[in-house]
Amino acid sequence: MFKKILIANRGEIACRVIKTARKMGIQTVAVYSVADKDALFVDMADEAVCIGPAASKESYLVADKIIAACKETGAEAVHPGYGFLSENAEFSRRLEEEGIKFIGPKHGSIARMGDKIESKKLAIEAGVNTIPGYNEAIDGPDAAVEIARKIGYPVMIKASAGGGGKGLRVAYNDAEAHEGFSSCVNEARNSFGDDRVFIEKYVLEPRHIEIQVLGDSHGNYVYLNERDCSIQRRHQKVIEEAPSPFVDAAMRKAMGEQAVALARAVNYESAGTVEFVVSGATKEFFFLEMNTRLQVEHPVTEMITGLDLVEQMIRVAYGEKLPITQKDVKINGWSMECRINAEDPFRGFLPSTGRLVKFQPPAEIPGQVRVDTGVYEGGEISMYYDSMIAKLIVHGATREQAISRMRDALNGFVIRGISSNIPFQAALMQHPRFQSGIFDTSFIAKEYPNGFDASMVPHDDPALLISVAAFVHRRYIDRAARISGQMPGHERLVSDEWVVIRNNERYPVVATPIKGGYRVDYNGEQYNVLSDWRLGQSLFNGTCNGEPFTLQVERHRMTYQLFHWGTRADMMVMSAHAAELLALMPEKQAPDLSRFLLSPMPGLLREVAVSEGQEVKAGEKLAVIEAMKMENILKAEQDCKVKKIVATAGASLSVDEVIIEFE
């Protein structure tokens, strides 16, 4: 077996590979950019080599630097993870020439299947079902519009070298095809160094189903069942599960056999994924692409099969045979994965960067709860790389049990200092359509057309939130009453009678101390809330009338924010007299910022598309901001005239920084 391998990646996946290598007795080498010098994966590896500045194109995407690090450290093989150079055929070929093993498929397989245009032609030759489309690189936006018209809207514009939702747009008309082509080209060039784009028909009511395959150098192939990745936002996967609630045994066999036929056609050696789009109405499936690498969502397959896919990749690269045949592949229970991203679901899922003031993932339980991450409390989330900071994976005997475990785990996942999508993930787990298993890739767009507002998510047990708010407030008041040196009469602050206020609704409660907590009388019912929660803690573990629960609580001046099951409850607790006075207070009006275009996120200002004095129509492009490897186009909300350009292209912007001032 290899003595030492180098991981040509960063973050969560680098940590993931290091764990398996350590289990196999293999030493590891990390390569890192200047921005990642204090990263967790650098600390975990046996050796680490700095390969350049923060920008990926000057560090993680430079093959020469990675090969030099291999020679410097004596690494015999390279695991590329996913993203960066993982599907770069030239990188794989260079390693082969240098006598360094690439822990992945041969460069010929990558070249043929990593190219989305060529892979579709190969799929047709192999007898795999494919989607109608134009399978040649497109010259420009006008040509894209013409081709889209011939195919018929809606169409999907895709980067040939794309992946991870980058370089992909859906267009429903000429204007969207023209603009989508340009954005795809720019994202593809920046992310993959390849700006070729093609177009295919967009399947309505689609489900995204993928088949995990394994092949070795001895001609053995297996498919490891399917993963359902249909819960997506802007073509980025949000929740993945295995198996799929939509796929039956016959479909699984048909898709699996086609996936293996495609892998066999290119002599595929390693772990790979064949992605299909499936019609929810007819159950017809069509080949999308083959990812010649490890997938982000590979843990759900590991949980239901008992295989370590990273270990299998390493063993295949060393020349070993697969340890199983198709008849050995089983489905054990149900697994789900939530991608925990550094983004603000309350601000349109815009990227969120900064210091992780608190990072407390739920406790890992073998076979039930797993957390894959590359960050730690006190670390920094950078604007230079993608937004994923952790993967939360659960396993249950049934889909219902997996959902229940994921709900509990999300409730106990504490992140502070930056925003995360945890409240949104928890809300999805609560959604009846998700729980039913009847959904497609448009689920999020349809169910949350105006964005996500956790304060509007209904809660199954609002009395629990009211009782916990009363508990927390009483604990603060009781502590305050014990502080020495107070003015006479302070003891009158301690009362059992309070009013909980949420969304201008008032809920009178009586909170009485009992052993281990408080008894809360509300609406004629008694709620005995017991907990050892202490002031300042974000995580609240306790029982209510004997039923255990976990939620998160934060205090902001007079407001308590409670997070539970995807609901955010902003609550104030005060005396009845104070509540009466509060009702008389005038509402504070927010300042009018409509004359300014503000940066909605931290990022790099790639383009200012207007000039001073220009008349702009509603819907026209104003500026383009790049953050976490994604391009974001800012458009005019109404007709206006540009008065002043405040920020210029190339500027690094912070949230709410002024870009343009209007007349």
| Residues designated catalytic | 289
Tell me the one-letter amino acid at 474.
R
Q: Name which of 544, 560, 412 is nearest 474 in CA terms.
A: 560
**Cross-strand bridge partners of residue 370:** 393
Residue 421 DSSP code = S
- Sign of the CA dihedral running 453, 457, 461, 462: positive
Look up tokens 């993932």; give the residue. 361
CA distance 121 to 117: 7
Strands 615-616 and 517-522: unpaired
Ranges of beta strands (E only) in 86-220 are 101-102, 133-134, 155-163, 166-171, 197-201, 206-215
Q: Could you count the other beta carbons within 10 Å of the beta carbon of residue 635?
A: 15
Residue 45 DSSP code = S
Provide the token pair at 117.
């245009």
- Sign of the CA dihedral running 83, 177, 238, 626: positive
- Sign of the CA dihedral running 522, 525, 526, 529: negative
Cis peptide before 243 (omega within 30 of 0): yes
Contact 563, 551 (CB under 8 A): yes
Concatenating the DSSP letter of every residue in 513-549 gives EETTEEEEEETTEEEEEE----TT-SEEEEEETTEEE
CA distance 174 to 524: 61
Provide the token pair at 257.
């056999």
